[in-house]
Amino acid sequence: MGKTSLPKKSSSSASAHDSIESILAENRRFAPSKQFSSRARIGSMADYEKLYRASIKDPEKFFAKQAEELTWFKPWRKVIQPPAKKGSFEGTQWFVGGKINASYNCIDRHLETARKNKAALIWEGEPAGAFGFEQRTLTYQQLHREVSKCANVLRSLGIKTGDRVAIYMGMTPELAIAVLACARIGAPHTVIFGGFSSEAIRDRVNDCDARLIVTADGGWRRGNIVELKKNVDQALSTESSGTPVSGCPSVEKVLVVKRTAHGVDMVPGRDVWWHDAMADASADCPAVPLDSEHPLYILYTSGTTGKPKGIVHTTAGYLLGTYLTTKYIFDIRDEDIYWCSADIGWVTGHSYILYGPLSCGATVLMYEGAPMFPAPDRFWDIIERHRVSIFYTAPTAIRSFVRAGNEHPEKHDLSSLRLLGTVGEPINPEAWMWYHTLIGKGKCPIVDTWWQTETGAIMISPLPGAVPTRPGSATLPFFGVAPQVVRKDGFLCNPNEGGYLVITKPWPSMLRGIYKDPERFHKQYFSEYPGIYFTGDGARRDKNGYFWIMGRVDDVINVSGHRLGTMEVESALVGNPAVAEAAVVGRPDEIKGSALVAFVTLKQGWPPDEALREKLREHVALAIGSIARPDDIRFTDSLPKTRSGKIMRRLLRELASTGAVKGDTTTLEDFSVLEKLRTAEEE
Ligand code: WTA
């Protein structure tokens, strides 16, 4: 297994897992309430087990039946097309021969029913206007018109089926519209999270040769303007502080939404205002029938190397995966107001703000801004005012709500809620209990959903109404998903024995590749355990078959539910002239799950002082985005290495977590005393 090793205690939440058995007696299971079960789609464990068994035994039959619920332009020939190479499911294709369109399934098909007049998106802006917080509602019919017009705008700007379009925006309806417009004409989108820096934009745009970028003049966040257009300009610029850089040669046009209206530079011939282009666009743009395996999008995510990888999802399998999981795991109904608080810049927003709920014809709430702005009760206020019934958020958000105090949710009427969800990292039982009691008032099932950018859709999660929950466990696999916990040598672990989480059968929404890098795709996911998918997560399975995710076992750190590659942050650091070498590790953090600690050696002549420390933190924020800003930088005169020259990360992790070699912030850490440990690690 190369360098991967199971973290003994990878994060505060993982350590909380250890104590959970003792905290909660065996009988502290949270059985679904009769009230919920009686009207849930899957209302009992027996029903879940029956369907699950059927999905594993004959996936072709199972998924063929489910796929009939989507609207097809042409039926498929074969549900599962195994790869030519025997003994591996890498390269499996789904619904081969079929023609389908994701935008059509998310919008047009609802226009034939009463859903035409129902709200597809209820959007709330961060700032308040004269009449309270800004709000806009788009019915399915209105969404159809906007998406069709936008698709025509994209075409008029030269975008054809197959061309890549980058989208770098804040959370406004135009972001959703742009995504669905790309899907409509089969132009794979690559959404770049609005918190990323211009360098991060450039890397992503150049990796996929996007021809057009959709952006906004700015975005609202915590009362401030995020300079989205300026960042795009910088990414496209051929100069960076006087040094010529490559810019983004593939980009021909930039489509700019006016959101903050604070004045930005428009480059003639390249930049086009959204509102100007939309004013002239026709609203007639039939969805293009696309092959099932036509790429729907590329989404960049951090991996174990310095460069983020472009995860490729295709149309039919992904759509089916997000549709089915939304239908069953969120048990979604026409009358629900469903709110997922993620950003569309991450996979959670792709699958569970857009493709999943809209293909189900749901009403989706979308919020633009920061969770605690202008006051710590903003989320609870939104839930009360919009009567949100399903709420999906991240453990890190829950932990900051816990810290902010109970008085904030307590002053709001949260009685509309009927189901709660979490995603992104292991949830510690304390946060789970708080969510259950304070927010769900003890009556809402909690779905703790484990999945990844690569899996496209939720893989392990309770089905509310059927599966009793346990705080801290994602419980059982979804239909068609075959996870196992294995040892280094590939043998199955015993109950409760920690091991590596793998998936042993193909599933419809699985990633189809890393953009332009089949080798890395193979190496990353299908080579640790030949032929089956390696998740990069550690887990254990208890004697009831429940999965307990323990966190990453590779060089990826989960900071506030966001994946960051240690190498990515390290290469940003060594990009600074002061830095000779850097090693980045995670340390448990009460709110973020993990915090970033960088051990840095400086080049001759640079003073290891507070000013430089701050400069380096800023440098990383500029290179990647503020989510990657190290929480702590420790200067050292050398990094502890094995004799073969490998940085001893485990040792650094321990130091970062326990603070064993802390010392004065301005003194250098001295690793010479660690010779003994070095030898121990090498052995
Ligand atoms: C972690 C987010 C524990 C895990 C959808 C995974 C979780 C990584 C959970 C993927 C969960 C996600 N419990 N850990 N419920 N959900 N993770 O690609 O380490 O941003 O590998 O996708 O988040 O992060 P990604």
| Structure confidence at residue 659 (pLDDT) | 63
Average pLDDT over residues 490-506: 96
Q: Which atom in ligand 1 lies closest to the alpha carbon of residue 461? A: 15
Determine if ligand 1 sits within 6 Å of the CB of residue 453: yes
| Structure confidence at residue 28 (pLDDT) | 61
Is it the case that residue 677 has pLDDT exceeding 50?
no
Is it the case that residue 454 has pLDDT exceeding 80?
yes
Determine if ligand 1 sits within 6 Å of the CB of residue 434: no
Q: Pick from 534, 549, 556 the residue to mutate for probing ligand 1's pocket: most ligand atoms within 8 Å of its CB.
A: 549
Looking at mean pLDDT, say which of 300-309, 356-365, 598-607 comes out highest. Answer: 356-365
Residue 424 CA to ligand 1 center (angstroms) comes to 4
Average pLDDT over residues 136-143: 98
Determine if ligand 1 sits within 6 Å of the CB of residue 351: no
Instruction: Kindly write down the DSSP assignment for every residue of 602-663, as one continuous string.
Output: EPTT---SHHHHHHHHHHHHHHTBGGG--SEEEEBSS--B-TTS-B-HHHHHHHHHH-TT--
Determine if ligand 1 sits within 6 Å of the CB of residue 512: no
Determine if ligand 1 sits within 6 Å of the CB of residue 669: no
Please, which pLDDT band fits residue 129 given cuts at 50, 70 and 90?
confident
**Residue with CA nearest ligand 1 atom 7:** 425
Phi first, then psi: give them for residue 65, nearest 5 degrees. Answer: -65, -45
| Structure confidence at residue 504 (pLDDT) | 98
| Structure confidence at residue 115 (pLDDT) | 98
Share of the chain above pLDDT 70, in %: 91
The second-level CATH assignment, the architecture, of 560-682 is: 2-Layer Sandwich (3.30)
| Structure confidence at residue 345 (pLDDT) | 97
Name which of 339, 447, 349, 420 is nearest 386 in CA terms: 339
Is it the case that residue 3 has pLDDT exceeding 80?
no
Is it the case that residue 241 has pLDDT exceeding 90?
no
pLDDT digits (tens, 9 = 90+) for 193-203: 999 999 999 99
Determine if ligand 1 sits within 6 Å of the CB of residue 81: no
Q: Which residue has the tokens 């104590």?
A: 19
Please, which pLDDT band fits residue 9 given cuts at 50, 70 and 90?
very low
| Structure confidence at residue 244 (pLDDT) | 59
Is it the case that residue 496 has pLDDT exceeding 80?
yes
Least confident of 52-56, 303-307, 629-633: 303-307
Q: What is the dotted CATH code of the domain comprising 135-294?
A: 3.40.50.12780
**Residue with CA nearest ligand 1 atom 10:** 452
User: Number of helices and strands (H, E) in the chain?
Assistant: 22, 33
Is it the case that residue 660 has pLDDT exceeding 80?
no
Average pLDDT over residues 65-88: 96
Instruction: Kindly write down the DSSP assignment for every residue of 140-166, as one continuous string.
Output: HHHHHHHHHHHHHHHHHTT--TT--EE
Angle, CA 353 vertex, CA 349 and CA 357 arms, to 5°:
140
CA–CA dist 80, 63 (Å, integer)? 9
**Residue with CA nearest ligand 1 atom 6:** 452
Q: Is the dihedral of CA 569, 575, 578, 581 positive or negative?
A: positive
| Structure confidence at residue 679 (pLDDT) | 42
Is it the case that residue 334 has pLDDT exceeding 80?
yes
Determine if ligand 1 sits within 6 Å of the CB of residue 558: yes
**Residue with CA nearest ligand 1 atom 14:** 425
| Structure confidence at residue 307 (pLDDT) | 83
Q: Which atom in ligand 1 lies closest to the alpha carbon of residue 549? A: 3
**Residue with CA nearest ligand 1 atom 11:** 450
Determine if ligand 1 sits within 6 Å of the CB of residue 462: no
b (16+ CB within 10 A) / e for 447-484? bbbbbbbbbbbbbbbbbbbbbebbbbbbbbbbbbbbbb
Least confident of 389-398, 403-412, 513-522, 670-679: 670-679
Residue 348 CA to ligand 1 center (angstroms) comes to 10
Q: Pick from 193, 350, 451 the residue to mutate for probing ligand 1's pocket: most ligand atoms within 8 Å of its CB.
A: 451
Please, which pLDDT band fits residue 675 given cuts at 50, 70 and 90?
very low
| Structure confidence at residue 8 (pLDDT) | 42
CB atoms within 10 A of CB 117: 12
Determine if ligand 1 sits within 6 Å of the CB of residue 90: no
Please, which pLDDT band fits residue 245 given cuts at 50, 70 and 90?
low
Pair of tokens at residue 394: 């991240």
Average pLDDT over residues 415-429: 95
Pairing mode, strands 295-301 and 309-314: antiparallel
CA–CA dist 632, 647 (Å, integer)? 18
Q: Residues near 460 by Cβ (< 8 Å), separated by ≥ 6?
A: 449, 450, 451, 474, 475, 476, 477, 478, 481, 483, 547, 549
Please, which pLDDT band fits residue 668 given cuts at 50, 70 and 90?
very low
| Structure confidence at residue 657 (pLDDT) | 86
| Structure confidence at residue 33 (pLDDT) | 87
**Residue with CA nearest ligand 1 atom 13:** 426
Q: Does 125 or 429 have the greater pLDDT score? A: 125
**Residue with CA nearest ligand 1 atom 12:** 424
| Structure confidence at residue 292 (pLDDT) | 98
Average pLDDT over residues 381-385: 98
pLDDT digits (tens, 9 = 90+) for 588-601: 999 999 999 999 99
Query: How does the average pLDDT of the chain come out, rounded?
Result: 91
Name which of 153, 209, 203, 202 is nearest 182 in CA terms: 153
Angle, CA 408 vertex, CA 405 and CA 413 arms, to 5°:
140
Average pLDDT over residues 113-125: 98
Average pLDDT over residues 573-596: 94
Average pLDDT over residues 316-344: 98
| Structure confidence at residue 642 (pLDDT) | 77
Pair of tokens at residue 262: 């604070």
Determine if ligand 1 sits within 6 Å of the CB of residue 550: no
Pairing mode, strands 253-257 and 271-273: parallel
| Structure confidence at residue 1 (pLDDT) | 38
| Structure confidence at residue 482 (pLDDT) | 98
Residue 504 CA to ligand 1 center (angstroms) comes to 18
Is it the case that residue 670 has pLDDT exceeding 80?
no
Q: Does 235 or 238 have the greater pLDDT score? A: 235
CA–CA dist 409, 371 (Å, integer)? 13
Check: CB of residue 583 under 8 Å from CB of residue 652. Answer: yes
Average pLDDT over residues 322-330: 98
Domain boundaries, the chain: 135-294, 560-682
Average pLDDT over residues 183-192: 98
Is it the case that residue 227 has pLDDT exceeding 50?
yes
Q: Pick from 452, 473, 562 the residue to mutate for probing ligand 1's pocket: most ligand atoms within 8 Å of its CB.
A: 452
pLDDT digits (tens, 9 = 90+) for 359-382: 999 999 999 999 999 999 999 999
This prediction has a pTM of 0.92
Q: Pick from 558, 559, 568 the residue to mutate for probing ligand 1's pocket: most ligand atoms within 8 Å of its CB.
A: 558
Average pLDDT over residues 381-386: 98
Determine if ligand 1 sits within 6 Å of the CB of residue 302: no
CB atoms within 10 A of CB 531: 14
